[in-house]
Each structure stands twice: as C-alpha cells, then as structure tokens.
Amino acid sequence: MSVLIKGGRVITAADDYLGDVFVEDERISLIGESLDVQADRTIDASGKYVLPGCVDPHTHLDMPFGGTVTIDDFESGQTSAAFGGTTCHVDFCIQAAGQSFGEALETWHGKREGRSLIDNGFHIAVTDLREGGTLEELAALPDQGVTSYKLFMAYKGALMVDDETLFKTMEVAAETGALVMVHAENGDAIDVLVKRALAEGKTEPRYHALTRPPETEGEATNRAIQLARVAGCALYVVHVSCKEAVDPIARARTEGWDVHGETCTQYLFVDYSFLERPDFEGAKYVYTPPPRAKENQDVLWSAVRNDVLSVISTDHCAFLWDGQKTAGKDDFSKIPNGGPGLENRLQMIHHFGVREGRITLNRMVELLATNPAKLFGLYPRKGTIAVGSDADIVIFDPGRRVTISAATHHSRSDYNLFEGTEVEGSPEMVLLRGQVLVEGDELVAQAGVGQFVKRARFGEELKPAHAAAAS
Ligand code: URP
Ligand code: ZN
Ligand code: ZN
C-alpha cells in the first residue's frame, strides 16, 4: 500500500515547508516539492499541516492503582490517543510486589495483545528489589527493548521505593544505558501530612493538594538529581508541576548534568482552585502531583519554551468520576489519583501554545513528538518526518474548531479535564505506518494494528526497521 500526501505544510522540529510525502511499505520513502509518483491513495493536504505522529512517553492504561483499575484499556486508551494525533506511547509496566520483571512484562504484553491501535513500548516500574525482581534481571531488560526504569518516590505503602532501591536502580542504569525516570515527591513527609489532615477531619478533595506542598516535589526532584550524579546515570523527571521542581532541573541543565524533565498538559491549564469545586467535582482534578497555584503555569510555559523541560506528556491515568473517584467521597486519600488527557494534548498545546504565541510550531512538534522519541529510544523511526522514518503522520487542520467534551471524547472516562474548552486546530487524518487510523470523526482501523516497539538505549538511535534488518 502506497500513499501520497500532497501539498501540505510539513512541519518537524527543525523544518517548515510545503511539500509532498510519499509512503511505501509503512515508511516514508520520498519527500519532494512536487512528486510525480503513482500511489494507491493520494491525500490532498493543501491548507493542512503534515506533522509527525505525536509520541506520549507517559500513560497508564489498564493499570491497577488506588484500589481500582484505570478505566481505559489499550483499546480505548489508544483509540483516544489516535484521535488526538498520538501514534506511539510508552506505558508503565508496574512490577507487582513479589513479582519478577519478566512476569510483570508478560502481564503487560497480555494487556495490549489484540487490542492495540497504535504502537507502544514499555517502561518498567521498579517497586521491589528485595523479593521480586533482581538487579541482574533489571540489567537484562534493555536487551528486550525496555530501556527506561521508573521509580516512584511517593505513594507510601503502595508503589513507593526507598532511596536504597532508587540508588541501586540508578547504578544499574549507569551500567546498562537505561534512562531512570522518577516520580519526584517526598512520600514520607506527604504520608505524615495526609494522616494528620484526616485525623483533623479534613476530608475534601482540596486536601489532596494541601498535603502535597510544592516543597515536597522540589526536595525529591533535587534528591533524585544529586543521586543520579553520584550513580552516573541519566535522569528524567516526570510530571513536573511547580517552580520548586523546575528550579533544580534548570540548575542541573545549566551545569550540564544529564537531567531531563517533562510537564503534562493539565499543569498548564488546571490550577489549585479546580480542587475546590463543590459537590465533589474537585475529585476530577485529583492527580499527582496536584494542580498547583496558578502562578506556576507561567513558570511551566517558560520552562517548556526555554528547554528546561523538554517534553509535554499526558500522564493519562483515567478513572470514572462517578463510580471510581467516588471511593474517596469521605476521604480524599481514597480518591484514585489520575485523569484522562491522551486525546487533547495536541489540540490544547496547538491552540494555547502556538496560536496564542507561547511557543512556535517547530517547538510544539519537538515537545510532543521529537524529544520524547529521542529521549526514549524511538528516534528517528518515530518523532519526525524524514525518509526512512515510520509513516506515522498527522494531517492537522489548523482551522478546525472543536469544543472539547467528555460527550465526544473516546476515553471511557465520564469527564474531561478541559470540558467546554474551545480550540481551533485538530487532527483531520492520522496514519500509523502508512495505514489510515482516523479519518475525520471515524476510526477506520481495527484493533491489532499497533505493534510493540523495542526501544534503543538512552542516547542511541532506533534504526528504521529495514536498516536494522540489513545491518
Ligand atoms: O495521579 C497520577 N499522576 N496518577 C498516575 C500515577 C502517577 O503518579 O503518574
Ligand atoms: Zn507519578
Ligand atoms: Zn503517571
């Protein structure tokens, strides 16, 4: 199957030009000003942007968490992603207590099998090095294409690890070339604050934020940075929400340390006041780190503009408000932490980032596709439009007006973090390795088309499939 995409405005992290893109055998094989080639299908992209498929390095599909399981499985979550212009994501495979990493990965592969609509890789979330996985097993994972180790410095009594586990994992990463990712909050201090608040009868959703002050995120971010320096590994700080965490990352990058960070769409738009919404509506915004004081949003925009933060992910961790979040009606600590977001990242960042002049189109592509692909061993197969790259392509209509709503989104969640927001600019067609996934409002592909991607080690390139086979 060959596809010719004609006359679009091709935008990568570096380029912006009018051109034709020819796709053969799942990959981009020609790019030119006016290509004279026969194709099985020709798509007129005049007036549209031709963007690389977005890459989301932070999602939680079909994940047991907070006494329940996230409401989007691989099929519904990836459908939501596809409609939002995301064609590849890296999901967290969580090691259950006592489980080996191999067992955890087998479980997660089972979750995606037959349900996949886009490509994905896995990070391994290390929770237990005492009775479950061993350091030797961890060291072998990059050979299976699992090239990032995630550690939670919070969620005491559940996913949280101590500094010994964190540091030993960092040392393994320094040896194997994996990237260490941290959820950086001081889980011990937060646990004290949560128990005290509950003992004082403070049960409403807003106490989720009031018991996780930004200093606890700043402290853990700095601790992880310093430990990574001692271990000699590369570090990636997930879901940065506030100035207290941006500052140590900015310092690290100024010093030339191998430290990288992301924020998520919601931190740029949702602030602490959302948690105060009446009638338990605040529970919709209970995710971790929590929505912060509004002034942090300017700090985050500035950080993504200046490359202190290199990625905007979604941390898609969707629950039902009515039926799952309600577990915490009388106790904020029982509200499952997380929210939906896979579908609206590109729309929100394009409208409020690019249209409103906060970032350029090139920077948008860099933040949503190229940088996540580079940092997570997917580039140049993913994250750009280039000869040899997978033909993961978004035909984006910059004039298409959409009102974001749970009534029309494809996540199974019964609410949307950006409900009622009007945006101008939305994907019109989405291709995965040359196959049309989404056309207008229709999903035209069948579950099963997505592939598991074995990622390269940090700092290494993922060769296009044909080149890897030939070498
Ligand atoms: O609230 C969140 N972010 N839920 C997902 C787990 C995590 O901490 O990333
Ligand atoms: Zn987290
Ligand atoms: Zn997360």
d(CA 172, CA 231): 9
Q: Which atom of ligand 1 is nearest to the CA of 155?
A: 8
In short, whether 234's Cβ falls inside 6 Å of ligand 1 is no
Dihedral angle, C-alpha 369, 465, 79, 239, nearest 10 °: -40
pLDDT at 447 over 60: yes
Mean pLDDT (the chain) is 97
pTM: 0.98
d(CA 382, CA 50): 14
pLDDT at 471 over 70: no
Q: How many CB atoms lie within 10 A of CB 168?
A: 17
pLDDT at 219 over 60: yes
pLDDT at 465 over 90: no
When pLDDT is cut at 50, 70 and 90, the band that residue 463 belongs to is confident
Q: Which of 58, 60, 156, 216 is the pocket-test mutation for ligand 1 (most atoms within 8 Å of CB)?
A: 60
When pLDDT is cut at 50, 70 and 90, the band that residue 464 belongs to is confident
Q: Is the bond preceding 380 in cis, omega lying within 30 degrees of 0?
A: yes
- 347-380 pLDDT, tens digit each: 999 999 999 999 999 999 999 999 999 999 999 9
The answer to whether the beta carbons of residues 181 and 123 sit under 8 Å apart is: yes
The answer to whether the beta carbons of residues 239 and 289 sit under 8 Å apart is: yes
Q: Residues 6 or more apart from 91 whose CB is under 8 A from it? A: 59, 60, 61, 108, 112, 120, 121, 122, 123
In short, whether 315's Cβ falls inside 6 Å of ligand 1 is yes
Q: How many CB atoms lie within 10 A of CB 394?
A: 30
The answer to whether the beta carbons of residues 46 and 83 sit under 8 Å apart is: no
Dihedral angle, C-alpha 357, 359, 362, 366, nearest 10 °: -160
Supply the residue whose CA is at minimum distance from atom 7 of ligand 1. 288
Compute the distance from residue 58 Cα to the ligand 3 centre, in Å.
6
Kindly provide the b/e burial profile for residues 303-312, where b requires at least 16 CB atoms within 10 angstroms of the residue's own CB: bbeeebbbbb
pLDDT at 470 over 90: no
In short, whether 287's Cβ falls inside 6 Å of ligand 1 is yes
Q: Residues 6 or more apart from 48 whose CB is under 8 A from it? A: 8, 9, 395, 396, 397, 398, 428
Q: What is the DSSP letter of 96?
A: P
In short, whether 316's Cβ falls inside 6 Å of ligand 1 is no
DSSP lists the bridge partners of residue 41 as 3
Q: How far is CA 265 from CA 164, 242, 349, 451, in A?
A: 32, 13, 7, 26
Compute the distance from residue 329 Cα to the ligand 3 centre, in Å.
23
Ligand nearest to the CA of 63: 1
- 173-196 pLDDT, tens digit each: 999 999 999 999 999 999 999 999
d(CA 85, CA 106): 28
The answer to whether the beta carbons of residues 418 and 348 sit under 8 Å apart is: yes
Q: What is the DSSP letter of 336?
A: P
pLDDT at 260 over 70: yes
When pLDDT is cut at 50, 70 and 90, the band that residue 134 belongs to is very high
Provide the residues around ligand 2 (an ion) whose CB is within 5 A: 183
Compute the distance from residue 286 Cα to the ligand 2 centre, in Å.
12
In the chain the first and final C-alpha atoms are separated, in Å, by 25
In short, whether 58's Cβ falls inside 6 Å of ligand 1 is no
d(CA 437, CA 429): 8
425: buried, middle or exposed (CB in 10 Å: 19+, 13-18, 0-12)? Answer: buried
206: buried, middle or exposed (CB in 10 Å: 19+, 13-18, 0-12)? Answer: buried
- 315-344 pLDDT, tens digit each: 999 999 999 999 999 999 999 999 999 999
Supply the residue whose CA is at minimum distance from atom 9 of ligand 1. 315
d(CA 400, CA 151): 40
In short, whether 457's Cβ falls inside 6 Å of ligand 1 is no
When pLDDT is cut at 50, 70 and 90, the band that residue 10 belongs to is very high
Q: What percent of the chain has pLDDT over 70?
A: 99
Compute the distance from residue 357 Cα to the ligand 2 centre, in Å.
29
Compute the distance from residue 264 Cα to the ligand 3 centre, in Å.
10
What are the φ and ψ backbone dihedral angles of 173, each rounded to 5 degrees?
-60, -40
pLDDT at 232 over 70: yes
Q: Which of 315, 316, 413 is the pocket-test mutation for ligand 1 (most atoms within 8 Å of CB)?
A: 315
Kindly provide the b/e burial profile for residues 347-382, where b requires at least 16 CB atoms within 10 angstroms of the residue's own CB: bbbbbbbbeeebbebbbbbbbbbbbbbbbbbbbbbb
Q: Which of 93, 148, 150, 239 is the pocket-test mutation for ligand 1 (most atoms within 8 Å of CB)?
A: 239
Average pLDDT over residues 423-437: 98
The answer to whether the beta carbons of residues 46 and 36 sit under 8 Å apart is: no
Supply the residue whose CA is at minimum distance from atom 8 of ligand 1. 288
Q: What pLDDT does 5 receive?
A: 98
pLDDT at 97 over 90: yes
